[in-house]
Chain A
Amino acid sequence: MSLVAEAFMNQLAAAEPWPENAALYQQLKEDQILLSDNAASLAVQAFLQMCNLPVRVVCRANAEYMSPSGKVPFIHVGNQVVSELGPIVQFVKAKGHSLSDGLDEVQKAEMKAYMELVNNMLLTAELYLQWCDDVTVEEITHPRYGSPYPWPLNRILSYQKQWEIRRKMKAIGWAGKSLEQVLEDVDQCCQALSQRLGTQPYFFNKQPTELDALVFGHLFTILTTQLITDELSEKVKNYGNLTAFCRRIEQQYFEGHDKDGSAAASARSAKRSLLR
């Protein structure tokens, strides 16, 4: 479709109210989903909860391939399919819901900067740990990633994904890093976040924004996912206000809901099933 036609379709879609049957798609919770994808999915779920928009979580083995951009999660709202947190925030804004309207320009720029920090540091560190650390790759990532597929497809697909991620790491200069260096980077990132958060309930004082959703998604997943070692979650636990922040958001937005898609249940089940 041409750009003009797509813009027109988006305008039309924006006029429709949020439907009851909106769905969020991710990989299978118990056996398949990996740390980084779980974090992204949790971030989107938290954001939608904060906006008070109902969505049900649907788990499909081929969610990654269904997504128009190749990344999970994606939401199916009415006729539209939107993937990843950034575009979803834009999409929701077009429908008239926004969490960051109350911020001034300086704060918005700051929020964008911190979101970039999380994406460039935390997300990349998660990907590094999953795909470039040989022990984790062998024991956790390969078995989980290929679990819905029969042999030899499971091996082919997970090796293909591994080559792709490693190429990306090489391109951004992370291929040469050791695990200790990566954990150092995580520590620095957490330190920056902790300093910004301080003693406030949310990053921008009283109201949660998409930054809170993103940080919650990543930190909560790191804290509750069992990997080969606990080094990654230890780095986050060092900062008390971050763990308190995660608990606060969990209690406020996820507990007390009866839906299957509750973050706590999904993360905890991921934790149990990561024991191999």
Chain B
Amino acid sequence: MGTVHARSLEPLPASGPDFGALGEEAELVEVEPEAKQEILENKDVVVQHVHFDGLGRTRDDIIMYEIADVFKAKNLIDVMRKSHEAREKLLRLGIFRQVEVLIDTCQGDDALPNGLDVTFEVTELRRLTGSYNTMVGNNEGSMVLGLKFPNLLGRAEKVTFQFSYGTKETSYGLSFFKPQPGNFERNFSVNLYKVTGQFPWSSLRETDRGISTEFNFPIWKTNHTLKWEGVWRELGCLARTASFSVREESGHSLKSSISHAMVIDSRNSSILPKRGALLKINQELAGYTGGDVSFLKEDFEFQLNKQLLWDSVFSASLWGGMLVPIGDKPSSIADRFYLGGPTSVRGFSMYSIGPQSDGDYLGGEAYWAGGFGDLFRTHFFLNAGNLCNLNYGDGPKAHLQKLAEYIRWSYGAGIVLRLGNIARLELNYCFPMGVQSGDRICDGVQFGAGIRFL
């Protein structure tokens, strides 16, 4: 070759296109039969232009970040792959209904022989969209109606109003979401909500009206969330026959807390994982930013999945948590932990392990639960756990001792069904053991639906 080719430059983001070294081109023009394949795979290309069709209110700068990588592609397969990734990123922003990618050779005066044009044809979402879904939580289902203003100001901000009517809770809320341009994983949102829940295992009714702001950001492989939340909680008895301990908790309280959560998830699926591990650690500190509830709460969840022979999976989980009230006010029933049910320690009724009064379960300040299971559409499981209140005057040895006595455990087998990617249904035959007086069991057949199982 020996000639110098002028390259054209578009106005580019910080990382511009790569210039292929002249030397490489010299090698590549071959005329063999396998050259065709080589041309496709190894031919050096330069992405000269990236066009966007269909942008309306979306701002240019956030688009630039998502497609920056396309310019870095060196050969055709790379261009196709990077364009596909860019398309995924653009769809993830939640502002386009549809994104089509067209790769073509460059035409026009400044076209290079190996220049390519990539065109993204996008259709923006309307300014106001509505949605109707059903959601499955842990042993509860709900119907959700939503009204969304996607891409409000052009940079993928989103305002959503949602109304949810479910078997346990009814709620509505307004939320504002804004990602950082170029870094969708980093975002912050502000939520206003009102949730009304009914909990028959404690004969308790709870209405929460609150406001929360949260920041999400990834650090290396982990995902972190920092949240401030202010909630006005109103507790009441669900029936006239509620026990006096629950009646004493009725009334209003204000919780203002900051919390931090960290999640590392390497599982291939969260519903029925075949491999990978999950670690979630959550802490919450209430009382130092106002309100009249003051505590420190720690909570962790660990799960490990390993594939064994014959397409079966061995899964082990460990959960635990502790609530330490700060000051001399005792903890509120709305903050304590609950244990038991088809999605945690199977064989026991929903949230029916631990301290109770006249059949109303009051929750406990410390708990642990562990499970082993073998999953293959039919599964075997072994669960154990304990929930109690700790006497914080004693040392950690005494705490461990208290958590270790009166262990409830259960074993059994059943069938597992996956509901798409949304939820898991289980039908088990359980043998609860280690039952303490006051626990409510569900021995025999137990059905559970949910997203988070022990």
Contact = CB atoms under 8 A, between A and B. Distances in A.
Interface of A: 1, 6, 60-62, 64-66, 68, 76, 81, 149-153, 156-157
Nearest to A23: B244
For the complex of A and B, the 10 pairs showing the least CB-CB separation, nearest first, are A62-B251, A65-B251, A65-B250, A153-B254, A150-B292, A66-B250, A66-B247, A150-B254, A150-B291, A1-B241
B290 interface: yes
B240 A68 contact: yes
A81 B290 contact: no
B239 A1 contact: yes
Contact of A61 (B235, B240, B251, B291): B251
Interface in B277-297: 290-292
A22 to B, nearest CB: 13
B248 interface: yes
B239 to A, nearest CB: 7
B364 interface: no
B252 A153 contact: yes
A47 to B, nearest CB: 22
Contacts of A150: 254, 290-292
B237 to A, nearest CB: 8
Contacts of B237: 68
A49 B257 CA distance: 46
B302 interface: no
A65 B250 CA distance: 6
A81 B244 contact: yes
Given A1-B240, A68-B240, A156-B232, A62 B250 contact: yes
A1 B242 CA distance: 11
A6 B241 CA distance: 10
Interface in B198-250: 232, 235-237, 239-241, 244, 247-248, 250
A69 B290 CA distance: 31
A23 to B, nearest CB: 10
Given A66-B247, A150-B290, 9 more contacts: A6-B240, A62-B252, A65-B235, A65-B250, A68-B237, A150-B291, A150-B292, A153-B232, A153-B254
Contacts of B254: 149-150, 152-153
B291 A65 contact: no
A157 B290 CA distance: 17
In terms of DSSP, what is the predominant structure of the interface of chain B? strand
22 contacts: A1-B240, A1-B241, A6-B240, A62-B248, A62-B252, A65-B236, A65-B250, A66-B247, A66-B250, A68-B240, A81-B244, A81-B247, A149-B252, A149-B292, A150-B290, A150-B291, A150-B292, A151-B290, A153-B232, A153-B252, A153-B292, A156-B232
A62 B292 CA distance: 13
Contacts of A149: 252, 254, 292
A127 to B, nearest CB: 21
Interface in B319-352: none
A65 B232 CA distance: 15
What is the size category of the interface that chain B forms with chain A? 10 to 19
A68 B250 CA distance: 10
Contacts of B291: 150
A264 B248 CA distance: 27
A184 B130 CA distance: 60
Contacts of A60: 248
Contacts of A153: 232, 252-254, 292
A157 B254 CA distance: 11
B391 to A, nearest CB: 24
Contacts of A157: 252
A64 B251 CA distance: 8
A68 B236 CA distance: 10
B201 to A, nearest CB: 18
A1 B247 CA distance: 17
Contacts of A156: 232
Contacts of B251: 61-62, 64-66
B248 A66 contact: yes
A73 to B, nearest CB: 14
A66 to B, nearest CB: 5
A31 to B, nearest CB: 15
B335 to A, nearest CB: 16
B446 to A, nearest CB: 27
Contacts of A66: 247-248, 250-251
A205 to B, nearest CB: 39
A55 to B, nearest CB: 16
A60 B329 CA distance: 13
